[in-house]
Amino acid sequence: MWREVGIIRSGNELRRAIEQLEAMPISPPEKVTREEYELLNMWTVAKVIACSALAREESRGAHYRSDFPYHDDRFAKHSLVRRGQPARFLQNSSHK
């Protein structure tokens, strides 16, 4: 995550991070331990961040894409990520 989904991001790095995350043998824990659930949660959050960042083809605030260095108001919305679906952007009433 530090190398591929850090402060300055690009589409190639984000795709590489997603591929690496998907290649990890992470599954719901067989043992019900705090450590197993924490690992699954960290993996899930990492994947959501990478997928959302890849879908957001602009730079805004702390999200900087070297391949999309400018604001694009089409992305002035909250992102929604669901398992098995691409990230999408929700209309925010304050950004009509």
Q: In this predicted structure, what is the pLDDT of residue 33?
A: 87
Torsion angle defined by CA atoms of residues 68, 73, 74 and 79, in that order, rounded to the nearest 10 degrees:
80
Residue 26 pLDDT grade (very low, low, confident, very high; cuts 50, 70, 90):
confident
Compute the Cα dihedral for 65, 10, 17, 51 and give only its sign: positive
The tokens for 64 are 């900087």
pTM above 0.75, yes or no: yes
Integer CA distances (angstroms), 78 to 41, 66, 89, in order? 21, 21, 6
Residue of higher predicted confidence among 47 and 28 = 47
| b/e 71-87 (16+ beta carbons within 10 angstroms → b) | eeeebeeeeebeeeeeb
The tokens for 89 are 């952007």
SS3 71: coil
